[in-house]
Structures are given as C-alpha cells and as structure tokens.
Amino acid sequence: MFRFFVAGLSMGMLGMAADAPAPSVTFAKEVSRIFQQKCNECHRPGTAAPMSLETYDAVRPWARSIKQRVLMRQMPPWSIDKSVGIQEFSNDRSLTEDELSTIVRWVDAGSPLGNPKDLPAPQKWSSDEGWQLAKQFGPPDFVLKSDPYTMPAQSQDQWWKPLADVPVTEARWVRAVEMRPGTAQGRKITHHALAHLVQDDPEAQRLGVDNDAAAGQGGVLMEWAVGKNFDIFREGTGKLVMPGSHIWWDIHYHAVGEEIRDHVELGVWLYPKGQEPKYRTYLTGFQATSTVGAALDIAPNSISMSQGFHVLKQAARLENFQPHMHLRGKAMLLEAILPDGTNQTISYVGNFDFNWMTNYIYTDEAAPVLPKGTIIHVTAWHDNTASNRGNPDPNQWVGWGDRTVDEMAHAWVNVTYISDDDYQAWAAKHKPQRTGMRRPE
C-alpha cells in the first residue's frame, strides 16, 4: 500500500502530461547541487548523519530511501506548515517543489550519474574544531566552557548545572552566540543545553522574561539542541551582559551504552566597545500548560491539547520560533491575540519531530512586530497513542518533567522589545495579517 501511495504522490507532485516526457535529470548536473545546498551540511563524513551525500558512489545505494524521505517531507527536517502563517525564513533549508520533483524524477529514472564533468566543485568544510560563525565574524571574543561531566554507559537521564564566570569587566553587548558539545562523542549524550545568564537585571524581570524563579536572572543567553546551533541578533539589537555575571549551565545528558566524558562550549561575539545597539533581545520560553492546572496532564492512549497565554508588556518583534517538546510532541501553534481581539497566526509546526529541534528564523521583513498588550498564545498537542511511533509506552499517564519520557511544551522565541513610537512607525508601513487558528489534522 505504501508503494502505491508514494507512487501516486510522486505523480501528483510532478504533474506531468503523459505525452510530454520530462528532460533527463542526472546526479552530476542537478541532484548534486541540491544536496550541496540543502543536505551536505549534515550528510558528510564526521557528522551525526547516518550516511554521506557528497559523492555519487555514497548516494546511489540510498536513492530510493531518499525519495521516500523527501516525499514525506521528513528530510531535510523542516516541519513548518507551508499553508499558514509566516513563510519567509533566513535559514530555510526545505526543498522547493522543483527541487523535490527533480530528486523524484532522478530516482525514477534509475539514479544516473550523468557526465562527471558536470559535477560541481567539492564543498570545503571547516574542521569540527572551528566555529560556524567564524566565517562571518572571525573568532569569538571569548569562549565559555562548562565543567566536564562523565556520563555512565547505563544510567537514568542526568542534568549537569555548574556555574561559569563571564569574563567582562564592564557592560558589553552581544551580537552573536554559538553553542556546541565539546567533542563529537559528546553529541551522542547531549540532549540539549541551556546557558542561563545570571546577573542583576531589573529590566528582564520587569518584562517578564525571567523564566527561572531565581532573583537577578537575566534570561537565557543561548539554548543548544539538534537543529539549533547559534543565534545572530539583527542589526541594532543584541543581548547585554554585565560585569560580575555568570553562566548557569543546564545540560541534559542521556546514556548511550558507552561511558563518555564531555563538556559544552559557548562562543560569544561582542559588539565593538562603545557600539550599543538600540534594543535588547531576550530568549524567552513561552510555555503551554494544561488547561486544568499548572502542568501537563496527558492521559494514556489519548491526544492532548494544552495552551499558554503570555502578555507582552512592551511592543516587540519576534525573531524566531523553536518548538520544544519530547517524544509525544505532535504539533505546536504560535499565535498573537492583538489588543483589538483579532488573531494573527504566526507559525504552525504540524508534524513535530523530537529528533530535530529546528529553529525557524524569520527574515527581517517577515518577522512579526506586535503592540504592547498583545497576548502570545501557544497551543501544543501531544500524541500519547500507539500510532505515535516514538511513544515509549502509550499506556502511561504523562506529566510535565525534564526526563525524555516526561513531556514539555514551550516555544523558544527571541523577543526584541521596541518603543511604542517604533511600533507605530512600523504599523504605518505594514498592514497586520488577520488569520484564524490552525488545528492539526
């Protein structure tokens, strides 16, 4: 049945007339270039991907599997619903309809190599020791490292929460951050890592971005997960670190059958001294909790919906959307309820994949700008049934918790707070979109 489904989907997407044969497609001329642009960053030797897609010999045995994965929109990992909400992203790695059609036609034609002279030049990758953002900004101004931790081969999940000093002697503005496990082995055990900024920060508390109850918290400087490696703050915005501040690491490790010792590293790029961006950006976790209490409450063998409502205490621009749930996560909707009562659908991930905590970064023009008093509405769905292949046990009652077998539901969003005057200037040039809520199928 699956074979007929894929074949029907393939023909429907190609939309080709029977009497109009399509031009031939080869790996050398077309497919290799698509893989270079959309796939090879992960699918190359030395990465966590199960195979390399850099050469024809490496790709050919996987051709039919590749066709199935791209038709199901499982690869490249990009789960934003393309029929609703914002569609312009600066890091969009999804396949266009033409690219998808090209791959399918190539596989259906027998996956030919074509003329080797048509192959593009091989891509050059920096070593794993290098920072991705170094291409744009040069080496980081400083690198913070967590104390190392040894994860046993067999163990319950562990959370490592050491402190690290931030080496600044005066207030400095951050323009970019990048985080990563310290070694390739460490990527196997690191589920995610948070770098909380601990400093005396009344402004963060006033705006309600103090996600942790600890007094003096300055928000989250960076969060790492598979699918998110760095944040670059838009021109005129940044994060403020103060002298005497600390990083409070919150690293979630899980056992993988071998003992591994590792740490997490955070590279920080600063604005030049004396250059102060106009606005601060705060990484905020907008949570969706159960409608019956302060925590998730997911019954066995059920699909559950939870919601969260968060009021913007100042006009703001939302820079990105990164849903975060665990194994039973199904879908998440980010919506704005404007002060006049109308709804604006911002983004909807209808096919959440726990293995890819993808960060969807809006382009400068598409990033939503919202007035003071807007309610950020997060709706999350969890699938605790046997139809969810990632569900470890559909007969278990599931609640909120840090373990992978527990659940979470929050949207990580970089929020840049702006003045009312700047909001009015933006609103005079843009007509806000009014759309209704999107529900999963």
List Cβ<8 Å contacts ≥24 apart for 58-61: 59/27, 59/31, 59/35, 59/111, 60/27, 60/111
In SS3 terms, 345-414 reads as EEEEECCCCCCCCCCEEECCCCCCEECCCCEEEEEEEEEECCCCCCCCCCCCCEEECCCCCCECCEEEEE
| Residue 57, SS3 per DSSP | helix
- How far apart are the C-alpha atoms of 258 and 268, rounded to whole Å? 31
Cis (ω within 30 of 0) for the bond into 272? no
The mean pLDDT value for 385-391 works out to 94
- Would you state the pLDDT for residue 225? 84
φ, ψ of residue 93 in degrees (nearest 5) = -115, 10
- Would you state the pLDDT for residue 85? 95
What pTM, to 2 d.p., does this model score?
0.82
**Residue 406 scores a pLDDT above 80:** yes
**Residue 386 scores a pLDDT above 50:** yes
**Residue 355 scores a pLDDT above 90:** no
Phi-psi map region of 274: left, alpha, beta (phi>0 left; psi -120 to 50 alpha): left
Q: Which residue has the higher pLDDT, 132 or 363?
A: 363
Q: Which residue has the higher pLDDT, 148 or 200?
A: 148
Q: Among 4-8, 17-21, 182-186, 346-350, which is the least confidently predicted range?
A: 4-8
The mean pLDDT value for 310-339 works out to 95
**Residue 434 scores a pLDDT above 70:** no
Which pLDDT tens digit goes with each residue over 175-234?
Answer: 999 999 998 889 889 988 999 998 887 777 777 765 444 434 567 888 898 778 899 999
CA end-to-end span of the chain, whole Å? Answer: 21
Which pLDDT tens digit goes with each residue over 16-68?
Answer: 444 455 568 999 999 999 999 989 888 888 776 788 899 999 999 999 999 99
- Would you state the pLDDT for residue 23? 66
- Would you state the pLDDT for residue 7? 42
The percentage of the chain sitting over the pLDDT mark of 90, rounded to a whole number, equals 63
Query: DSSP letters of 84-133?
Result: SS---BTT--PPPHHHHHHHHHHHHTT-----GGGPPPPP----TTS-TT
- How far apart are the C-alpha atoms of 351 and 346, rounded to whole Å? 16
The count of other CB atoms within 10 Å of the CB of residue 116 is 10
The mean pLDDT value for 388-408 works out to 92
| Fold match flag (134-277 vs 282-429) | yes
Residue 6 confidence class, pLDDT cut points 50, 70, 90: very low
The mean pLDDT value for 376-394 works out to 95
Side-chain half-sphere CA neighbours of 225 within 13 A:
19
CATH-assigned architecture of domain 134-277: Sandwich (2.60)
- Would you state the pLDDT for residue 160? 95
- Would you state the pLDDT for residue 33? 94
The mean pLDDT value for 360-380 works out to 95
The one-character DSSP state at 78 is -
Q: Which residue has the higher pLDDT, 356 or 104?
A: 104
Q: What H or E segment, with its residue span, contains residue 58? A: helix 56-59
Q: Among 257-261, 291-295, 349-353, 434-438, which is the least confidently predicted range?
A: 434-438
CA angle (78, 362, 176) in 5-degree steps: 105
- Would you state the pLDDT for residue 15? 45
- How far apart are the C-alpha atoms of 67 and 63, rounded to whole Å? 6
- Could you give the angle at which helices 97-108 and 63-71 cross, rounded to 10 degrees? 150
- How far apart are the C-alpha atoms of 337 and 340, rounded to whole Å? 8
The mean pLDDT value for 150-173 works out to 94
The mean pLDDT value for 220-249 works out to 90
Query: DSSP letters of 159-204?
Result: EE--EEE---SS-EEEEEEEEEESSTTHHHHEEEEEEEEES--HHH
Annotated domain spans of the chain: 2-114, 134-277, 282-429
Residue 433 confidence class, pLDDT cut points 50, 70, 90: low
**Residue owning tokens 């250059």:** 275
Which pLDDT tens digit goes with each residue over 254-300?
Answer: 999 999 999 999 999 999 998 999 999 988 889 888 654 557 889 99
- Would you state the pLDDT for residue 365? 92
Q: 164, 310, 182: which is closest to 241 by C-alpha? A: 164
**Residue 129 scores a pLDDT above 80:** no
- Would you state the pLDDT for residue 132? 85
- Would you state the pLDDT for residue 330? 96
Tell me the residue type at 160. W
Domain 282-429 carries which CATH code? Answer: 2.60.120.230
